[in-house]
Chain A
Amino acid sequence: MTASQISIAIPAELQQVRVAAAALRGVLRAFDCDDDQASLIELAVVEAVNNAIEHAYAGVPDGRVELQLEISHGALHICVTDTGRAMPAEALARARAGLGEAAGEPREGGYGLGLILEVMSDVGYRTEHDLNTLKMSITLNRSPA
């Protein structure tokens, strides 16, 4: 079966993230992804898009965030791209190191990348020609027929 490629683009506004999330859920339903896993994928994608809007585009007008979804051989590969400020190089490694920490009072922020790492596989980030790309993958669980 040919790989399916779907793109979803939104203005970099937090109110628009729900639109991207609804579109993603529609795609996942079309591929019979089970509901529990669809919720996790939605969470990871929302976190990635929120990061792009709140950090990459902080104070930058007219940004856009694009999701590129590729479904191939039962796996979903996602790229979240923006043209804002690049994430600091150590951010992913710091989030990876912070997984499992739960000392003291719960903090009010800084969970986004950790959640992405918990939910998705092959998480990576790169910046090329002013385009920032967070990529992540997951093997899809099909819901029972």
Chain B
Amino acid sequence: MRISSSSTADSTTLRLHSARLDAAIANELRTSLGEAITAVAGPTILDMSEVVFMDSSGLGALIGALKVIDATRLTITGVKPAVRTVFRLTRVDRAFTIAE
């Protein structure tokens, strides 16, 4: 899956270019996002605005990829309602900063 990166003086944004984070791409997501995020230093924004569906496999891959960095320097943005519901129902929203 494609992940693009853009930077400002303050932060780096990683954008997930996939409509579905599901079991079919979970392994690829874990690897690609893990590599992309470890290459970033400083405040990081994960832009999920293209993601319209996420299942628990996609969520698990996301957690696996993101746990390599300090969660306090990460903000997740662009979270659509169906995706936000998965974060909420699993209580994983308590572990990450998810922007409104």
Chain A residues packing against B (C-beta within 8 Å): 14-15, 17-18, 21, 36, 39-40, 42-43, 46-47, 50, 53-54, 100-102, 105-109, 111-112, 114-115, 118-119
Contacts and interface: CB of A to CB of B under 8 A. Distances in A.
Contacts of B82: 36, 39-40, 43
A118 B89 contact: yes
Contact of B67 (A54, A105, A112): A105
A109 B81 contact: no
A17 B24 contact: yes
B interface, size bucket: 20 to 34
A21 to B, nearest CB: 8
A43 B63 contact: no
A125 to B, nearest CB: 17
A42 B53 contact: yes
B91 interface: yes
Given A18-B20, A39-B82, A43-B86, A108 B55 contact: no
B55 A106 contact: no
B78 interface: no
A46 B64 contact: no
